[in-house]
Structure 1
Amino acid sequence: MRFGTFLPQGWRFDLVDVDPADHWTTMRTLAEKADAAAWESAWVYDHFHTTPVPSQEATHEAWSLMSAFAASTSRIRLGQMCTCMGYRNPAYLAKVAATVDHVSGGRLEMGIGGGWYEHEWRAYGYGFPEVPDRLRMLREGVEIMHQAWTTGSATLDGRHYQVDGAIVQPRPVQPGGIPLWVAGGGEKVTLKIAAKYAQYTNFSGTLETFDRKAAVLRQHCADLGRDADEITMSGNFNTIVGATEAEARDRLAAVKARLLPHLGQERADAAEQEYLTSAAFGTPEQIVERLAERGRHGLAYSIHYFPELAYDTSGWELFEREVIPALS
């Protein structure tokens, strides 16, 4: 199994006790630590407002961070989970991503999806199209990026996007273009887009849900004449690890206490429950067992969000020492 880690950027209230003047230093230091450790990739979220409630707390923009991390690391791969197609013109985004790929020396991953956070969409003046339109935007945008990265230009007269010879030079460093992670488990459209274009998928949920979506993906690949094994299946996990179950619960209590003033009791209770039911909550041995089971069902890449990372790296380091070697 391969492993990625999310870095704090504020979106999930994970920088609230850090002075804003120290945010970049905190994020850069963690990126450098990940670069020197066992993680294959480091990730951020493409969001502008905090979740599950918008607030005045900081949320740093994903693609600005991509460029900054590209320049301040040397080995680790860099991605967003996932870029919202509707937030940027896809030809412009293809150009930005190609430049970041050069800055990084060919270490960029492109996570892409249809988007879901309505408050952000409307606040930034993007409207909030119905789901079918957001998925058509995703399909058209992915086609534009694919053209741009493989040929150096893109032309498409679509319903949502029109580009006519948009030049994207230089093309990405990586042969064939930047690897595409098509995120989301929509079975009729999203997974069909993934079957055509993606090198990676990203969907989570119960094991039964994972199995069903994996089967749908394989069928779409068969319909297109593509080998499904060319696509790596990944998932994201909310992660709190302790040497003992009691320590893991103590860590969770500290996370909940930090979230409570910002989320209120009901949402903080819901966040607590999400961690308690996560496959990546508990001792290293428990997490290894659960992830190994996912691996037997086809999960090949797991990406882990540690809510305490900006304040305490000891759980992150414990995961590196005991979980990653057991499953890599």
Structure 2
Amino acid sequence: MRLGLQVPSFTWPGGAAALGATFATVARSAEDTGFASFWVMDHFFQIEMVGPAEDPMLEGYSALAFAAAVTDTIELGTMVTGVTYRHPGVLVKTVTTLDVLSGGRAYLGIGAAWNEQEHRGLGVPYPPLAERFERLEETLQVARQMWAGDESAFDGAHHQLERPLSSPQPVRTPHPPILIGGTGEKKTLRFVAKYGDACNIFEMGTEAVAHKLDVLQQHCATEGREYAEIEKTTLGTLSLSADGREGTMTVAQAVDRFGAYAAIGVDQAIVSLAAVHDPVAFELVPELVAQLATITPAGR
């Protein structure tokens, strides 16, 4: 089982002047301590579950490009890009560039978008939910077409691309994995089965996650897709300590927690670390990563 790191907050000591150096240290620490992947949110305002909108928020792909330059092996992605933020062709070009310059380490993390406040605040159109899902499906189709080298015109209900050229093509083969975030059973998980290479589900308890994976498996059967081809990931929070004090977890407790998810088929647990700007947050990560590496997720 693999462990990934999400960085959802940039409210760190030193303010904007120190943010670049701190972020670089966090990215390098994630790689050095064994995290398999490194994720930032694709938001322009901080989201209410993390802090006030006014808190610092970095643009996702600029941040990942910066992280790529200070690391060598860790995989990179957004958790996740709102489909409304960028034209599909431009988004594919952006992710391709990240993949090429990082030596084949990019994911395309994507979802239907939801934060109306930042859309309206920055003048980004915010169509109704049904249309956002239509745009999501078209964007997934465009990504797969461009990464297949098919330059024929794309004529969708919402997007028209006269020549969807992608040059250079990604380094990663056959293309950067497409991770679709969300738990909707009728559309989101069906899109994972039809177009995706990975899914991301909130860490909502093993019973609830197992149900979502059962639904995904049913969609795979309908779409003629091998369920085992899809990487299953979860998203949660983690705070490690030697003794599990004050709501933290020991390494053994964390192994039990993530092992239970592996037992239902989860391949990678993606977490945010409390006080990630503090090097102490990473001290026990190598031990946790080593123990999780001995766990084979169900179905693998």
Residue 286 (structure 1) shift: 1.3
Residue 134 (structure 1) shift: 1.1
Q: Which residue of 1 aligns with 2:20?
A: 24
Residue 72 (structure 1) shift: 2.0
**Counterpart amino acid of 1:209?**
A
Structure 2: how far apart are the matches of 1:95 and 1:42?
A: 20
Report SS of the residue matched to 2:283.
helix
Q: Which residue of 2 aligns with 1:303?
A: 270
Q: Which residue of 2 aligns with 1:90?
A: 88
Contact 1:144 1:155 in 2 (8 A): no
Structure 1: how far apart are the matches of 2:12 and 2:171?
A: 37
Contact 2:29 2:282 in 1 (8 A): no
Report SS of the residue matched to 1:241.
coil
Structure 1: how far apart are the matches of 2:151 and 2:13?
A: 45
Residue 54 (structure 1) shift: 4.0
Q: Which residue of 1 aligns with 2:122?
A: 124
> Which of 100, 103, 111 in structure 2 is aligned with 1:102?
100
How many residue pairs match? The answer is 290
Residue 317 (structure 1) shift: 2.2
Q: Give the direction of change, closer, same or farther, for the CA distance of 1:60–1:319 in structure 2 (3 Å limit).
A: same
Q: Which residue of 2 aligns with 1:327?
A: 292
Contact 2:193 2:216 in 1 (8 A): yes
Percent identity among equivalent residues? 31
> Which of 24, 32, 47 in structure 2 is aligned with 1:36?
32
Report SS of the residue matched to 1:165.
coil
Higher helix share: 1
Residue 35 (structure 1) shift: 2.4
**Counterpart amino acid of 2:233?**
S
Q: Which residue of 2 aligns with 1:203?
A: 201
Structure 2 residue 283 is the aligned partner of structure 1 residue 317: yes
**Counterpart amino acid of 1:236?**
L
What per-residue deviation string (whole Å, max 9, x for no partner) do you get for residues 71-118 of structure 1? 221111111111111100010011111111111011111111111111
Q: Which residue of 2 aligns with 1:270?
A: none
Q: Give the direction of change, closer, same or farther, for the CA distance of 1:159–1:316 in structure 2 (3 Å limit).
A: same
Structure 2: how far apart are the matches of 1:107 and 1:78?
A: 6
Superposed, which structure 2 residues align to 1:1-328 within 5 Å? 1-7=1-7, 11-12=8-9, 14-52=10-48, 54-151=52-149, 153=151, 155-204=153-202, 205-246=204-245, 249=246, 281-310=248-277, 312-321=278-287, 323-328=288-293
- Structure 1 length as normaliser, TM-score? 0.84
Structure 1: how far apart are the matches of 2:240 and 2:259?
A: 16
Contact 1:78 1:108 in 2 (8 A): yes
Contact 2:154 2:164 in 1 (8 A): no
**Counterpart amino acid of 2:5?**
T
Residue 132 (structure 1) shift: 1.3
Report SS of the residue matched to 2:137.
helix
Q: Give the direction of change, closer, same or farther, for the CA distance of 1:308–1:77 in structure 2 (3 Å limit).
A: same
Q: Give the direction of change, closer, same or farther, for the CA distance of 1:152–1:24 in structure 2 (3 Å limit).
A: farther
Contact 1:91 1:154 in 2 (8 A): no
Structure 1: how far apart are the matches of 2:160 and 2:291?
A: 48
Cα RMSD over matched residues? Answer: 1.6
Q: Which residue of 2 aligns with 1:259?
A: none
Structure 1: how far apart are the matches of 2:141 and 2:275?
A: 38
Structure 1: how far apart are the matches of 2:32 and 2:282?
A: 13
Structure 2: how far apart are the matches of 1:60 and 1:317?
A: 26
What per-residue deviation string (whole Å, max 9, x for no partner) do you get for residues 23-65 of structure 1? 0111112212222231111111101111215433321100011
